[in-house]
Amino acid sequence: MRELLSTRQLQLTKSLGQNFLHDAHQLRRIVAAAELTPADKVLEIGPGLGPLTELLVEQAGEVLAIEKDTRLVEILRERFCPPATTLHPRFELLAADALAVLEHEVRDWRDWKLVANLPYSVASPILVELAQTPLRPARLVATLQLEVAKRLMAGADDDDYGVLTLLVQLRYEPRGWFKIPSDCFFPAPDVDSACVCLVRRETPLLPEAQHATFEKIVKRAFSQRRKMMLKLLKQDWPAERLAAAFTALNISPQERGEKLSLEQFVALTKQLSQQHDRRNL
């Protein structure tokens, strides 16, 4: 990898989070977590020089790779795209900003799996964007900063539990994660890394129409972590409606958002949505 970059006289761009995973063992672990079959369609974001791409095109039926750095796009085209090679006819390379693509292009991802070493600077927004689309991927297998991985895997009352946890876990069930040492990357990042695996919930916890209410509740509840959740929610809902909902769900008026489980946030969303629906009949 170092030799290729030197030959091409390529200087990596820190702002793009260009720390390339080169360890073959870790790459195989990532692919194993995706549980790929020849029928699978895979989205890879930030393929870099293509070490993970090489494994994906061998095991999946179709691979779409999105790379922002045009210098790396040239290398990837030489390696994987016809007419340079005819080995991977179902490989598509898109030279674009992946986050912009996800935000502005409506696409059906339901039959796809994300398998990627995500650029750390945009890992959280990319995962939230994919999770929030109604046509979301079946599985998310992503390498990212260890601190972000812990937030994605967290449970109620954990230090890492918060808005990101709940926005993603509403739609995805955490299936596990493993740490990846910094010396498995080139150049080695200053932070620890981990790969997470999240599987789409086939039975939704909430109807799609109530997801916006859930997000509003969660963001308000964590806007000031040490404040009582009931007081914070009064900025958006009448006090009597909140009191009735908290009583019905046996939630203490003194409770903070970080103490409530995903299931309790879902139940509160249903309760406040039902109250709203009854008031509008």
- Of the chain, the percentage scoring pLDDT greater than 70 comes to 88
Question: Which segments of the chain are extended strands (E)?
Answer: 20-21, 41-45, 62-67, 91-95, 112-117, 139-145, 172-180, 185-186, 193-200
CA gap 131, 119 in Å, rounded:
17
Residue entry with tokens 């599985």: 139
Question: Token digits for 205?
Answer: 């916890």
Task: Considering the chain, tell me which residue range(s) the CATH 3.40.50.150 domain(s) occupy.
Answer: 2-200
Position 217 scores a pLDDT of 98
CATH number of 2-200: 2.60.120.260, 3.40.50.150, 3.20.20.450, 3.40.50.410?
3.40.50.150
The yes-or-no verdict on residue 196 having pLDDT over 60 is yes
CATH H-level superfamily of 208-279: rRNA adenine dimethylase, C-terminal domain (1.10.8.100)
Per-residue pLDDT reduced to its tens digit, 124-178: 999 999 999 999 999 999 999 999 999 999 999 999 999 999 999 999 999 999 9
* DSSP H helical ranges for 39-160: 51-59, 70-80, 98-104, 123-132, 146-153
DSSP 3-state assignment of 40? coil
Average pLDDT over residues 11-39: 85
Residue 278: pLDDT band (50, 70, 90) is low
The yes-or-no verdict on residue 52 having pLDDT over 50 is yes
Position 200 scores a pLDDT of 98
The yes-or-no verdict on residue 73 having pLDDT over 60 is yes
The better pLDDT of the pair 60, 121 is held by: 60
Pairing of strands 91-95, 41-45: unpaired
Task: Considering the chain, tell me which residue range(s) the CATH 1.10.8.100 domain(s) occupy.
Answer: 208-279
Minimum mean pLDDT among 131-145, 184-198, 251-265: which range? 184-198
Q: For residue 42, list its beta bridge partners.
A: 63, 113
Residue 188: pLDDT band (50, 70, 90) is confident
